């Protein structure tokens, strides 16, 4: 379970630059999320071996100045509600502004760690200018330059110090999170599952202190349903709904085993849905995609096929994901959806015996060895599954550095073909023998 860190502050102080810098620490995340930058509001980052989810509240602000003020207040409140720690960014060029003072006022009332980051400090003169930010009453500050990264090390050292320890919760029951954009039909899906008769044994207040876990047992299935849909919906305006649902999804995804990603068939697999998909995949969670409101779509021949192909094209190379077409309203294929989620959960926790793994994989490798690189031949002698909560495999060979991604993908595909890991991200490591 990762911690959540939010970056707040008024527009144009450099929040996004800093954010992009942090999530690019690991190459895997350079494309934090495919799609235009205004979609890139969250990613995973790590520092000194501690992972955390990072949320940039910046990109959500739209409108004129007075709207700005309201929006910023609202985002700061959201960040205060949801995050484990907050980075408050200000800009040394413009000094302390009225808006900064407003944000500081909100943050002074919080009992969460707040880090004041004074940005654009790239020479000694500006270092001296930064002193005026003591006036915000938030104590010491960190001087950084998000363009060239100077100073960010000290800030991150202090930040990861205070983040809660990561605990892999051992829950006996699988946890399924229903995620997706607002109005995709998540609440109705959960209600249809639980049924008006309420087959709920208990309502456990979730560990996240606000996502509600519903224990579900019916038709021989038993699991916890993590509901992101109906949680403390604030009676606020629509603008922050998107943002709120994103923060909610981030938390729910961190805490579950399988994500049931729900989308509205009439809207398609759009940027926001893709964001949630990639986030689940990066977190190595099982994934089931439900296309809801299928009854509202004009059908031509093969339309399920075409729709499926379109989604697979977008999520490639991780295409081995179940895609179900349902209608919550007509209760079509709802239980099939749960059945599939249970299968994906079982796939995620599957352990392949080492002997069986080698018996199947080594002949395949022999028939199609890794291509020679710089005249050197790679020999893979042995493979084993690592004892992690999700499928990771180590292949031992003489020259691990010469095995390229396409070959790793080949190995992953063969693992999928032979052991059924549908719906689950797999990691393949090359290790020195």
Taking the CB of residue 296, how many other CB atoms lie within 10 A of it?
Answer: 11
Q: Reduce the DSSP state of residue 326 to 3 states and report it.
A: coil
pTM: 0.66
Q: What was the pLDDT predicted at 65?
A: 56
Q: Which fold has domain 3-162?
A: Rossmann fold (3.40.50)
Topology alike, domains 175-349 and 354-432: no
pLDDT at 67: 60
Nearest CA to 283 among 348, 339, 224?
A: 348
pLDDT single digits (tens) 218-253: 767 888 877 665 443 444 434 455 566 666 677 788
With contact defined as beta carbons under 8 Å apart, do 280 and 261 qualify?
Answer: yes
- Classified as helix, coil or strand, 207 is coil
Of residues 75, 91, 79, 27, the one with CA closest to residue 54: 79
Strand partners, 332: 327
Q: What is the mean pLDDT of each run of 10 residues along the chain (433 residues)?
A: 80 82 52 35 78 72 57 73 88 88 88 92 88 91 87 91 69 82 77 57 34 69 70 43 64 86 89 83 92 84 85 90 91 89 94 95 94 90 92 94 92 94 94 86
Residue ranges per domain, the chain?
Answer: 3-162, 175-349, 354-432
**Cα separation of 291 and 12, whole Å?**
38
Asked if 126 and 102 count as a contact pair (C-beta separation under 8 A), the reply is: no
pLDDT for 349 equals 92
Q: Which CATH superfamily is domain 175-349 in?
A: P-loop containing nucleotide triphosphate hydrolases (3.40.50.300)
**What pLDDT shows up at residue 81?**
78
Annotated binding site: 9-16, 56-60, 119-122, 180-187, 227-231, 292-295
* DSSP run (H or E) holding 43: strand 42-47
List the structure tokens of 174. 């699988």
DSSP summary character for residue 83: -
Distances from the Cα of 293 to the Cα of 6, 183, 189, angstroms:
34, 11, 11
Q: Is 149 helix (H, G, I), strand (E, B) or coil?
A: coil
**pLDDT given for residue 248 in this prediction:** 67
Q: What is the pLDDT of residue 30?
A: 32
Under 8 Å between Cβ of 297 and 266: yes
Residues 6 or more apart whose CB falls under 8 angstroms from that of 42 comprise 32, 33, 53, 54, 55, 56, 246, 250, 275, 279
Domain 354-432: which topology? GMP Synthetase; Chain A, domain 3 (3.30.300)
Annotated binding site for GTP: 9-16, 56-60, 119-122, 180-187, 227-231, 292-295
């Amino acid at each position: 379970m990762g911690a959540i860190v939010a970056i707040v502050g008024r527009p144009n102080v450099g929040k996004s630059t800093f954010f992009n810098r942090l999530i690019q620490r690991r190459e895997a995340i350079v494309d934090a999320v495919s799609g235009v930058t205004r979609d890139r509001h969250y990613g995973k980052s790590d520092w000194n071996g501690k992972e955390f989810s990072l949320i940039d509240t910046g990109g959500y602000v739209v409108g004129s100045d007075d709207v700005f003020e309201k929006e910023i207040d609202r985002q700061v409140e959201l960040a205060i509600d949801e995050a484990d720690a907050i980075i408050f960014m200000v800009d040394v060029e413009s000094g302390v502004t009225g808006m900064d003072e407003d944000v500081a006022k909100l943050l002074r009332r919080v009992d969460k760690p707040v880090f004041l980051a004074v940005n654009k400090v790239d020479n000694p003169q500006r270092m001296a200018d930064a002193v005026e930010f003591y006036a915000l009453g938030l104590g010491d500050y960190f001087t950084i330059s998000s363009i060239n990264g100077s100073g960010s090390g000290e800030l991150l050292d202090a930040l990861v110090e205070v983040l809660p320890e990561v605990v892999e919760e051992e829950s006996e029951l699988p946890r399924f999170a229903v995620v997706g954009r607002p109005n995709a039909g998540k609440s109705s899906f959960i209600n249809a599952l639980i049924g008006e008769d309420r087959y709920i044994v208990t309502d456990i207040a979730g560990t996240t202190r606000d996502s509600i876990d519903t224990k579900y047992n019916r038709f021989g299935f038993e699991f916890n349903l993590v509901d992101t849909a109906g949680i403390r919906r604030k009676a606020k305006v629509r603008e922050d709904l998107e943002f709120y649902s994103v923060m909610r999804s981030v938390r729910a995804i961190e805490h579950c085993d399988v994500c049931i990603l729900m989308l509205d068939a009439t809207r398609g697999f759009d940027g926001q849905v893709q964001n949630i998909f990639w986030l689940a995949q990066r977190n190595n969670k099982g994934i089931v995609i439900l296309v809801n409101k299928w009854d509202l779509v004009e059908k031509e021949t093969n339309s399920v096929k075409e729709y499926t192909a379109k989604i697979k094209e977008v999520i490639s190379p991780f295409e081995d994901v179940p895609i179900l077409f349902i209608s919550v309203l007509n209760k079509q294929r709802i239980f099939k959806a749960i059945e599939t989620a249970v299968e994906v959960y079982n796939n995620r926790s599957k352990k392949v015996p080492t002997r069986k793994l080698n018996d199947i994989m080594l002949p395949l490798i022999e028939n199609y060895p890794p291509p020679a690189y710089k005249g050197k031949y790679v020999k893979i002698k042995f493979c084993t599954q690592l004892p992690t909560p999700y499928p990771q495999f180590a292949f031992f060979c003489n020259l691990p550095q010469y095995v390229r991604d396409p070959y790793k993908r080949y190995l992953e595909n063969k693992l999928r073909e032979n052991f059924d890991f549908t719906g689950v991200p797999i990691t393949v490591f090359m290790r020195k023998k």
